[in-house]
Amino acid sequence: MALYPWQTATYQALSNAFLNGRGHHALLFKTELGLGTDTLVRHFAHWLLCQHPQGNLACGQCKSCLLTQAENHPDFHLIHPLDGKDIGIDQIREMTARLQQFAQQGGNTVVYIQDADRLTEAAANALLKTLEEPPQQCYFLLEAPLSAPILATIQSRCQTWLIHTPEHQIAYDWLQSHCPNTEPQSIDVSLRLCRHRPLICKDFLETDRLTQRKTFFQTFWRFYKSRDVWFMLKAFSTDIPQLLTELEWLESFFSDAVKAKLAITNGWLNLDLEKGVQLFSQQLSTRQLLAGHQILQQTQQDLREINAVNAELIVMDCLTKLVLRVFEGCLPA
């Protein structure tokens, strides 16, 4: 399992800390989607389980390495949400019971907890007891979204590693090697739209989402001219993740329009739509553009946070507000 190029420095820092006697028995990786952090964690777990590591690399030949490569290592325990449910106390109790036994390969034991923010309160408290008095040669690797809250007592028992998006050039070079037939500007624009998350950007390019996005914005422009809410509503996806992406497209368009209004040339996301952004910004005031941006942000938040929601009604409300408060300038005092 090869590391992604943007993970090399973090992995070296991790392994060097252990090689220099500064390793911690519990590590919390806070990350974003689309960075392949699962690969980093598993690669590090492989090294911890290796019986004959070569510096900061697993040997790849011992029995432990072969079991890891076959995804059948008895001393590697994976805990994650099952069937869309949170991680419950029974999963933690089962793991704790296994840890009472000696490592079957006579070396380290690794527990990898994905989506650690999904631990129930009871599960988190049960895990806390184990983190406070961990078995010998047992390492806990927890992974959670960067913005997700983690129980303070759990986080205080862990060494936290923040996994950020890579530098633009590193991500760009990787994408260019994996999407060799894609135009450089398309890679650059897609990477910015995907917030520099390379794996999400790769899927974005491979599924020709740039073309879909341009069609979407053509519809949005007709909506702006016609004020026809129903016409625009039909352009949105019924799939919530894709719907959120489309709202992000619009939000970034409004953000760029504000920058254009203020003559800010840096930090644009929609470089391929520059003419459209400029034209849009000329027809609305800064206050109107900021109001539109806020409406789109609030709509995304509502869709993420409100359960059992009628997404169509929320989007229709958003479009109605754009017409009344932004396009027609009827802003509240």
In the predicted structure, residue 1 carries a pLDDT above the cut 80? no
Cα–Cα distance between 84 and 315 in angstroms, integer? 25
Torsion sign over Cα 271, 179, 203, 147: negative
b/e map of 193-232 (b: 16 or more CB within 10 Å)?
Answer: bbebbbbbbbebbeeebbebbeebbeebeebbeeeebeeb
**pLDDT value at residue 250:** 97
**pLDDT value at residue 105:** 63
**pLDDT value at residue 249:** 95
Cα–Cα distance between 85 and 100 in angstroms, integer? 26
In the predicted structure, residue 99 carries a pLDDT above the cut 90? no
Q: What is the 8-class DSSP label of residue 236?
A: S
Q: Average pLDDT in the 281-295 region?
A: 96
In the predicted structure, residue 329 carries a pLDDT above the cut 80? no
In the predicted structure, residue 332 carries a pLDDT above the cut 80? no
Cα–Cα distance between 1 and 259 in angstroms, integer? 42
Q: Average pLDDT in the 252-266 region?
A: 95
In the predicted structure, residue 104 carries a pLDDT above the cut 90? no
Residue with tokens 């026809």: 228
b/e map of 98-114 (b: 16 or more CB within 10 Å)?
Answer: ebeeebebeebbbbbbb
Confidence of residue 267 (pLDDT cuts 50, 70, 90): confident
In the predicted structure, residue 76 carries a pLDDT above the cut 70? yes
Query: Parallel, antiparallel, or unpaired for β 109-113 and 76-79?
Result: parallel
**pLDDT value at residue 102:** 67
**pLDDT value at residue 65:** 95
**pLDDT value at residue 330:** 63
Cα–Cα distance between 26 and 7 in angstroms, integer? 19
DSSP H helical ranges for 82-197: 89-99, 121-132, 152-156, 168-178, 184-193
Residues in contact with 208: Cβ distance below 8 Å, sequence separation at least 6, in sequence order: none
In the predicted structure, residue 154 carries a pLDDT above the cut 60? yes
Confidence of residue 147 (pLDDT cuts 50, 70, 90): confident
Q: Average pLDDT in the 118-136 region?
A: 92
Query: Parallel, antiparallel, or unpaired for β 159-162 and 26-31?
Result: parallel
Q: If you average pLDDT over every residue of the chain, what do you get?
A: 92
Q: Is there a contact between 100 and 135 (Cβ–Cβ < 8 Å)?
A: yes
CA 143 to chain centre: 12
Burial class (CB in 10 A: 0-12, 13-18, 19+), 96: middle
**pLDDT value at residue 306:** 77
**pLDDT value at residue 331:** 56
Q: Average pLDDT in the 156-180 region?
A: 95
Q: Is there a contact between 131 and 111 (Cβ–Cβ < 8 Å)?
A: no
In the predicted structure, residue 148 carries a pLDDT above the cut 90? no
In tens, the pLDDT along 227-246 reads 999 999 999 999 988 999 99
Strand partners, 145: 31
**pLDDT value at residue 307:** 62
In order of their start, the domains of the chain are: 5-164 (3.40.50.300), 208-327 (1.20.272.10)
Q: What percent of the chain has pLDDT over 70?
A: 96
**Nearest CA among 13, 125, 36 for reference residue 27:** 13
Cα–Cα distance between 197 and 201 in angstroms, integer? 6
In tens, the pLDDT along 43-66 reads 999 999 999 999 999 999 999 999
In tens, the pLDDT along 188-213 reads 999 999 989 999 999 999 999 999 99
Q: What is the 8-class DSSP label of residue 22?
A: -
